[in-house]
């Protein structure tokens, strides 16, 4: 299947196309539109035309369209899950049970949130001051490849709910679910131009969207390097931007944790989606006194992960997303070894027989014996590679957890309630999970501190981000 643009209510071609490769086989599975500034301009003009009508619709009416889209994706869940697996190499069970259901939930959640959205009023002796939160106009949403539909809709849904029209650029590496979403919007009768999807490469299709004066705001999820470029481009024209960026997250196992539960959780946190989730716990900090016992369990559970064809329902570890990413992760493994790391399990490319013989697979890998300040422990790998770091005191655990330039998420595993809350307060991290990982309530703010991001999207805050606050003062 080819991935086309969806502009002004229709699928349309771009002048050029690039190959879309299936990561599990390394072979082309279709083509993706390689849009340029002209396509972006067309999409922005369509969104501008649609804005007056869409922004004036009652919130409940906007919500009705969004729910219709959600029901179509739900009906076609299998088609979406298969497309995502072919596109990304992730296990189809993950697409079926996590990615696509979450994308559906994004639409449903913000359809409701639109009708509950409030703003403030402050009265004093002489005046009444109230805040109007008005939609901005056309907003730009740029998303990465690791959770293609889930992260795309996490931006699109609050933007539409708040009354904006959208031009979104999905990742060129995983364009298929966005293509299908376009068809779902057409079937739902979404007014033309309200949501436009422009496929293509970052510098060719993403940059013109970021630089366009008609785009009031950019919501970006992706790498810290590109996020910094986008922040600069937005700063030049004083456009609002929110950035959800990389992570090097710590999972801290205290000596009083349930080690069986902790090792199961650590495997999930480190290797879900082949370690290609910004929230993955890629640095596992473990108390010295339980290190041997915990490591033994961790290694055994890592070795038990089922790696294979992502289209097989039993597969737990699929392929990495691209040849380029495979090369990057293999380079990180070579670096870890050259820095003195001891490979406890994994450590190289995995060979799968049959259809997937040429696929981009890497063995889930655990590495021990590296100092916290090595590049391996400082830089985001974004693959199935986790390191183990021992600690002796709570203070040392906190210092290790905070020792990178990132600050996205952290997990604290302990039975001691007081310790859990104290440690959570001192972690430099936008999200802290206590005895869990990647649990999300969409009403809470989401995002990182330090170089993991700027702005918090979630619930009311996400809706607010997509509005302009206007103060109105009435003399009394
Ligand atoms: P990336 O930064 O390479 O690309 C992200 C998106 O930006 C893609 O759509 C890409 O085409 C586009 N892009 C690239 N250059 C651009 C430019 N100059 N102008 C405009 N757009 C441009 O990231 P990726 O490799 O797709 O995704 C992996 C990264 O995303 C990891 O660092 C991961 O941690 C991060 N991520 C963060 C979160 C979060 O919520 N914090 C979630 C998922 C992924």
Q: Secondary structure of the chain in the HEC alphabet?
A: CCECEEECCEEECCCCEEEEEECCCCEEEEEEECCCHHHHHHHHHHHHHHHHHHHHCCHHHHHHHHHHHHHHHHHCHHHHHHHHHHHHCCCHHHHHHHHHHHHHHHHHHHHHHHHHCCCCEEECCCEEEEEEEEECCEEEEECCCCCHHHHHHHHHHHHHHCCCEEEEECCCCCCHHHHHHHHHHHHHCCCCCCEEECCCCHHHHHHHHHHCCCEEEEEEECCHHHHHHHHHHHHHCCCEEEEECCCCCEEEECCCCCHHHHHHHHHHHHHHHHHCCCCCCCEEEEEHHHHHHHHHHHHHHHHCCCECCCCCCCCCECCCCCHHHHHHHHHHHHHHHHCCCEEEECCCECCCCHHHCCCCCECCEEEECCCCCCHHHHCCCCCCEEEEEEECCHHHHHHHHCCCCEECEEEEECCCHHHHHHHHHHCCCCEEEECCCCCCCCCCCECCEECCEECCECHHHHHHHCEEEEEEEEEC
Domain residue ranges of the chain, discontinuous segments joined by +: 5-245+452-475, 250-434
Per residue in 70-87, pLDDT tens?
999 999 999 999 999 999
Give yes or no for residue 247 CB within 6 A of ligand 1. Answer: yes
Question: What's the rounded Cα separation, in Å, for the pair 76 and 360?
Answer: 28
Q: Which range among 367-371, 430-434, 460-464, 472-476 shows the weakest confidence by mean pLDDT? A: 460-464
Question: What's the rounded Cα separation, in Å, for the pair 15 and 99?
Answer: 31
Compute the distance from residue 224 Cα to the ligand 1 centre, in Å: 8
Number of Cβ atoms within 10 Å of the Cβ of 129: 13
Per residue in 253-272, pLDDT tens?
999 999 999 999 999 999 99
CATH 3.30.1330.60 matches 250-434 = no
Shortest-distance atom of ligand 1 to CA 227 = 2
Grade residue 457 by pLDDT with cuts at 50, 70 and 90.
low
Q: Which residues pair with 127 in a beta bridge?
A: 475
Grade residue 460 by pLDDT with cuts at 50, 70 and 90.
confident
Q: How much is the pTM?
A: 0.97
Grade residue 426 by pLDDT with cuts at 50, 70 and 90.
very high
Give yes or no for residue 207 CB within 6 A of ligand 1. Answer: yes
- Within this chain, domains 5-245+452-475 and 250-434 share the same CATH topology: no
Per residue in 168-219, pLDDT tens?
999 999 999 999 999 999 999 999 999 999 999 999 999 999 999 999 999 9
- The residues carrying an active-site annotation are 244, 278
56-82: b (≥16 Cβ within 10 Å) or e: ebebeebbebbbbbbebbbebbebbbb
Per residue in 138-179, pLDDT tens?
999 999 999 999 999 999 999 999 999 999 999 999 999 999
Give yes or no for residue 446 CB within 6 A of ligand 1. Answer: no
- What pLDDT is stored for residue 455 in this prediction? 81
- What pLDDT is stored for residue 309 in this prediction? 98
- Please state the length of the chain: 476
The arithmetic mean of pLDDT across residues 392-399, rounded, is 98
Compute the distance from residue 143 Cα to the ligand 1 centre, in Å: 6
The whole-chain average pLDDT of the chain stands at 97
Number of Cβ atoms within 10 Å of the Cβ of 473: 11
- What pLDDT is stored for residue 461 in this prediction? 80
Question: Is 36 exposed, middle or buried, given 0-12, 13-18 or 19+ CB atoms closer than 10 A?
Answer: middle
The arithmetic mean of pLDDT across residues 18-25, rounded, is 97
Give yes or no for residue 34 CB within 6 A of ligand 1. Answer: no
The arithmetic mean of pLDDT across residues 295-321, rounded, is 98
The arithmetic mean of pLDDT across residues 321-332, rounded, is 98
Q: Which range among 153-167, 291-305, 312-326, 455-469 shows the weakest confidence by mean pLDDT? A: 455-469
Question: What's the rounded Cα separation, in Å, for the pair 221 and 245?
Answer: 6
Residue 459 has pLDDT above 80, yes or no: no
Using alpha carbons, list the distances in angstroms from residue 461 to 104, 117, 238, 466. 20, 10, 20, 9
Compute the distance from residue 436 Cα to the ligand 1 centre, in Å: 26
Question: What's the rounded Cα separation, in Å, for the pair 387 and 367?
Answer: 5
The arithmetic mean of pLDDT across residues 347-360, rounded, is 97
Question: What's the rounded Cα separation, in Å, for the pair 148 and 340?
Answer: 35
- What pLDDT is stored for residue 158 in this prediction? 96
Grade residue 68 by pLDDT with cuts at 50, 70 and 90.
very high
Per CATH, the homologous superfamily of domain 5-245+452-475 is Aldehyde Dehydrogenase; Chain A, domain 1 (3.40.605.10)
Spatial contact of 400 and 250, defined as CB atoms under 8 Å apart: yes
Encoded tokens for 31:
């083509």
Spatial contact of 176 and 20, defined as CB atoms under 8 Å apart: yes
Residue 114 has pLDDT above 80, yes or no: yes
| Percent over 70 (pLDDT), the chain | 99
Looking only at the bridges linking them, the beta strands covering 17-22 and 385-391 are unpaired
The arithmetic mean of pLDDT across residues 32-55, rounded, is 98
Residue 31 has pLDDT above 70, yes or no: yes
Spatial contact of 438 and 277, defined as CB atoms under 8 Å apart: yes
Compute the distance from residue 405 Cα to the ligand 1 centre, in Å: 18
Give yes or no for residue 243 CB within 6 A of ligand 1. Answer: no
Question: What's the rounded Cα separation, in Å, for the pair 53 and 348?
Answer: 55
Best residue among 220, 223, 410 to mutate for probing ligand 1, ranked by most atoms within 8 Å of CB: 223
Question: What's the rounded Cα separation, in Å, for the pair 333 and 328?
Answer: 9
Distance of CA 248 to the CA centre of its chain: 14
Sheet holding 127-135, edge to edge: 121-123, 127-135, 467-475
């Amino acid at each position: 299947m080819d991935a086309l643009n969806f502009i002004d209510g229709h699928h349309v071609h771009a002048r050029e196309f690039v190959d879309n490769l299936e990561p599990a086989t390394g072979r082309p599975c279709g083509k993706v539109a390689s849009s340029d500034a002209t396509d972006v301009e067309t999409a922005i003009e369509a969104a501008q035309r649609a804005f007056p009508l869409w922004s004036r619709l009652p919130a409940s009416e906007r919500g009705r369209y969004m729910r219709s889209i959600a029901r179509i994706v739900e009906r076609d869940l299998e088609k979406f899950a298969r497309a995502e697996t072919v596109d990304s190499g992730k296990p189809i069970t993950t697409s079926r049970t996590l990615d696509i259901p979450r994308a559906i939930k994004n639409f449903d959640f913000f359809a409701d949130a639109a009708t509950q959205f409030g703003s403030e009023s402050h009265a004093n002796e002489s005046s009444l001051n109230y805040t109007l939160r008005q939609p901005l106009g056309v907003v730009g949403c740029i998303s990465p490849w690791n959770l293609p539909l889930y992260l795309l809709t996490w931006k699109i849904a609050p933007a539409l709910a708040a009354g904006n029209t959208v031009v979104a650029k999905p990742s060129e590496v995983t364009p298929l679910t966005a293509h299908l979403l376009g068809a779902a919007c057409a079937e739902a009768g979404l007014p033309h131009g309200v949501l436009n999807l422009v496929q293509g490469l970052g510098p060719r299709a993403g940059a013109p969207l970021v630089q366009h004066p008609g785009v009031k705001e950019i919501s970006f999820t992706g790498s810290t390097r590109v996020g910094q470029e986008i922040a600069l481009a937005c700063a030049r024209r004083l456009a609002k931007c929110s950035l959800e960026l990389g992570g090097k997250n710590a999972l801290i196992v205290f000596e009083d944790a349930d080690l069986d539960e902790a090792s199961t959780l650590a495997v999930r946190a480190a290797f879900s989606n082949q370690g290609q989730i910004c929230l993955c716990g890629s640095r596992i900090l473990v108390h010295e006194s339980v290190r041997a016992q915990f490591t033994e369990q961790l290694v055994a559970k890592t070795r038990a992960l089922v790696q294979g064809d992502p289209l097989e329902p039993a597969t737990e570890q699929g392929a990495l997303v691209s040849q380029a990413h495979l090369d990057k992760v293999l380079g990180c493994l070579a670096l870890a070894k050259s820095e003195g790391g001891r490979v406890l399990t994994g450590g190289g490319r995995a060979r799968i027989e049959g259809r997937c013989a040429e696929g981009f697979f890497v063995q889930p890998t655990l590495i021990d014996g590296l100092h916290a300040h090595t590049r391996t422990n400082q830089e985001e790998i974004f693959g199935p590679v986790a390191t183990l770091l021992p600690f002796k005191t709570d203070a040392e655990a906190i210092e290790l957890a905070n020792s990178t330039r990132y600050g996205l998420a952290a997990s604290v595993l302990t039975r001691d309630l007081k310790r859990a809350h104290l440690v959570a307060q001192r972690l430099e991290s936008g999200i802290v999970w206590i005895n869990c990982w990647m649990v999300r309530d969409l009403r809470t703010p989401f995002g990182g501190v330090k170089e993991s991001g700027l702005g918090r999207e979630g619930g009311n805050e996400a809706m607010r981000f997509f509005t302009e606050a206007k103060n109105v003062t009435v003399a009394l």
